[in-house]
Amino acid sequence: MKTIDQYNFAGKKALVRVDFNVPLDAEYRITDDTRIRAAVPTIQKILADGGAVILMSHLGRPKTGPEEKYSLKHLVNRLEQEFNTTVLFAEDCVGPQAVQLAAELQPGQILLLENLRFHKAEEKGDADFAKELATLGDVYVNDAFGTAHREHASTAVIARYFPKDKVMGYVMTAELENARRVLGNAERPYTAIMGGAKISDKILIIEKLMDRVDNLLIGGGMSYTFVKADGGEIGSSLVEEDKIDLAKRLIAMAREKGVNLMIPVDSVIADAFSNDANVDTCLSHHIKPLWMGLDIGPTAREMYADVIRNSKTILWNGPMGVFEMSNFSVGTEAVADAVVDATRMGAYSLIGGGDSAAAVNKFGYADRVSYVSTGGGALLEYMEGKTLPGVAAIERDDY
């Protein structure tokens, strides 16, 4: 692995792809700076070596070019506070101003480029756009694991223009090391917790995990496809009708491989998708017509917590319910509590980005688990055995 520690940045301008896709409120204030804080050690290493830093990132999903709400200028003050220095800002990521600011950049200085996705060429993986970005720096550092599964101009294609000067930052390195830990010879009992809305998002990872884990705990909206596949009545709960046969096959596969596949025995149900709805608890296989399951129930919470607390390796991807609503966040918090307890007792716990990371942060547990991934989709694809373009572009000379 070509890592940042193997490179001396003295006198170099480092073009660093970070993941500063942070949430902003209506006044453009950052509401969660986790991704910014994650990138700090990489930036500090470059500056400490005597290098200059040129930061590039995307923010949101702009449709037709520049949009005020997606401008990275809203991050400048936060970065200046973090590094106690003036952060220069280029109003475009390419073009005369970016070229001039990059050319005049001195060791110890930081330049932030405007949102890469204001150019369609970024997501298209356009080689000319990548080459234009590449002219701004002497060395390329990819520290954006959250976008490593995308073959975009700034995340993969650009590496071609730095054949000898391309490395991974600390975030990328840590992400891969932690993912490999649960992919390799993980200590047993090994428990995977899979939640979220759709089984279709998790098919490949569930199949992969069947050969590795002892316990597979299912929660979230996807659990009701399993319940229906198991002959249950699920009312108006979320279900993927076209995935019922698949769920049946996964249940059979778990039985065949000796994996303890657990579907929530009971659910917190509501008569509408709202925090103000009428709420009840019932067996997951017997949900009333017109009612929907929105969280795992109290018995399921206890059963899941018991399995988790007796585990030595834990992988968690996806919430147990609609945790954004207080009435349906109890299951996710119970799982988080159990993961924290297990970690305290010596288990290794990897939280798989996305909503799982958001939940752990919401409950204030981020520093009480082993590792919180910054990239949900990228982590899943890596664990499914797929090649991540952003990783291959650094590791392979022929990419």
Q: Which are the catalytic amino acids?
A: 35, 198, 354, 377
Query: How many Å apart are CA 231 and CA 285, to the nearest integer?
Result: 7
DSSP codes joined into one string, 92-129: SSSSHHHHHHHHH--TT-EEEE--GGGSHHHHHT-HHH
Query: How many Å apart are CA 399 and CA 392, to the nearest integer?
Result: 7
- Cα-based distances in Å from 54 to 42, 51, 362: 12, 10, 31
Contact yes or no for 191/213 (Cβ under 8 A): yes
- Cα-based distances in Å from 37 to 32, 171, 279, 352, 392: 10, 10, 39, 18, 25
Q: b/e map of 218-257 (b: 16 or more CB within 10 Å)?
A: bbbbbbbbbbbbeebebbbbbbbeebbebbbebbeebeee
A 10 A CB-CB count for 337 gives 17
Query: How many Å apart are CA 153 and CA 267, to the nearest integer?
Result: 45
